[in-house]
A and B are shown apart, each in its own frame.
Chain A
Amino acid sequence: MYSVKNYQHRIRYSIQMKKGWPEPIYNPRESNAKFELGKKLFYDPKLSRDGSVSCAHCHLSFTAFTHVDHAVSHGIEGKKGTRNSPVLINLAWNNTFHWDGGINHLEMQMINPIEHPAEMDNSLENVITYLNSNQVYRKLFYDSYSDSTVNSKAMLQAFAYFTSQLISRNSKYDQYKNKELKLSLQEKKGMKLFKKNCNSCHTAPLFNSNIYASNGLSIDTNYNDVGRYAISRLGSDSLKFRVPTLRNIEHSYPYMHDGRFKKLRDVLEHYTNDIDINNPYLSEELRKKIILSDDDKKDLIAFLKTLTDKEFLYNKRFRPSR
């Protein structure tokens, strides 16, 4: 759908509006060429220092673009990072990125994995030199920008284009919202519990929020990750993290910034029994104990599974082109 203004100018944006959804923050003009270029970059291990690690190494399409089973990410030469690789879902609606929100624009995120010594350990300069020396890339850049000379701006925008198109909004929950199907009684009970206890932070329809909160995790003594404080330097931000989306959460284990929980059951155990109430910056809504019976927990998990979007997870368009 077009807004009137856009229609007049005949500009087609890459992300179309959907009822009940806010407008995306990042919405480039539609360009199949940029999508294909961004995808090629995303799957290219040659962007790393030793040619071994692509973005997809840590962000796999079948698992909502995260790295399952690894609590913290593993990059070049198996080096461990300090944080769990997040899902890449509906990034176009986020105003900040990373667990601590340190990144203020989708286009600027990609410098991090390229340069991070435990991820791809390369330099922007090397990557740009490589792209300029490769005829296939030069042609793809020409197709996207009418210029075959690659600079970092063009590359970063191509990455951002591809990742902004990783949109999940056709889960069972969405189909229920569109009145295409009904939820089971159990799922509905779970939805009620979710609305009562979780939706204030993991807010539908994105099931995240662009705020930082402490959800009561104790500090992980391996990494001593202080979260948002590292960026804002405000004491009141210690141990706060960005509220992540719960879309496709069934498939994106392990959970939390340090991947400390393997199962959704462990997550609910945390929210009901293990909240660290000594943390002065714990969110108010979690100070009051959440009480869930065993059945409640099963219901809530059944609801969380309605956020799984098979069309998204198995979308061939997101897989490498041959």
Chain B
Amino acid sequence: MLGSTSVIAQKNVSISFDLSPSDTTMEVGVFKFYLSSISLQFEDNSVYIEPNSYHLINKEDSSPQSLTLSNVPDKAISKITFTLGTDSMANVSGAMDGDLDPILGMYWAWNSGYINFKLEGKKGNQAFEFHIGGYNGEQATARTLSYSVSADDTIEIKIDPSKFLNQIDLSSTSSVKIPGNEAVGLTNYYPNMISVE
């Protein structure tokens, strides 16, 4: 190739998830969510943006929950940014496949849009169901979060469903399954349940 750009070596970066609840009185039935728009910042402040970045992470999957970013410039990583949920593009563009396939049980038919985050289970005798979604204007529930990391080619994201649940008074709110204020309010509890190493 002509020109002066030097070829930058590339690598794969693997992101793994630990989704187990720290509170053992909590029984998790379903725990699934979308992670999208992943980007990495390097120590030289340049940025890698994953193309077509939509991942459905499911605690039930038999294989360990992880995903791989490919063709990442081989540089030290200082920050990771991702969206918990799906952007409005994914919600308004018609039929999708891959992780956005509506067959995967993360789509509301009657009120078009993805369920961004689904947590169902029991704490003691109290059953709970949280299906958080909504993409439009004030109903938007996708949350973009950034974490400093010092990583080379593996990143671990710990998402502890009990830390989400512990912020909710289950005696008054145990089921939210439609877009709206309540769903938006619940997304305020996301940051507390996530840590990145």
Contact = CB atoms under 8 A, between A and B. Distances in A.
Nearest to A104: B112
B91 interface: yes
Interface in A74-116: 98, 102-108, 111-112, 115-116
A156 interface: yes
Contacts of A170: none
Interface string A120-155: 000011001000000000000000000000011100
Contact of B94 (A102, A107, A115, A125): A107
B95 A157 contact: yes
Interface in B180-197: 180-181
A233 interface: yes
Contact of B95 (A115, A152, A231): A152
B102 to A, nearest CB: 6
B94 A151 contact: no
- Where chain A touches its partner, the secondary structure class is helix
A160 interface: yes
Contact of B181 (A108, A152, A230, A233): A233
B61 to A, nearest CB: 17
B97 interface: yes
Sort chain A's interface into a size bin: 20 to 34
Interface string A220-233: 00000000001101
A160 B94 contact: yes
Given A125-B103, A152-B103, A102 B111 contact: yes
B108 to A, nearest CB: 9
A152 B94 CA distance: 11
- Which of B97, B109, B111, B139: most chain A CB closer than 10 A? B109
Nearest to A114: B109
B101 A153 contact: yes
B6 interface: no
B92 interface: yes
Interface string A289-306: 000000000000000000
A152 B92 contact: no
Contact of A153 (B95, B109, B113, B178): B95
Contact of A152 (B91, B97, B110): B97
Contacts of B113: 104
Contacts of B4: none
Interface string B107-128: 1011111000000000000000
Interface in A243-277: none
A319 B14 CA distance: 53
A106 B181 CA distance: 27
Interface in B142-177: none
A104 B95 contact: no
Nearest to A102: B111
B9 interface: no
Contact of A107 (B95, B101, B181): B95
B95 to A, nearest CB: 4
A124 B112 contact: no
A319 B197 CA distance: 60
A182 to B, nearest CB: 42
A107 B95 CA distance: 6
Interface centre among B96, B103, B180 (most CB of A within 10 A): B103
B93 interface: yes
Interface of B: 91-97, 101-103, 107, 109-113, 139, 178-181
Interface of A: 98, 102-108, 111-112, 115-116, 124-125, 128, 151-153, 156-157, 160, 230-231, 233
11 contacts: A104-B92, A105-B92, A106-B94, A108-B109, A108-B112, A152-B95, A152-B101, A157-B94, A160-B94, A230-B111, A233-B181
> Which 7 A/B pairs are nearest by Cβ-Cβ distance?
A107-B94, A156-B95, A104-B112, A111-B109, A107-B95, A153-B95, A153-B97
Given A98-B110, A105-B94, A233-B180, 4 more contacts: A105-B95, A108-B102, A152-B101, A233-B179
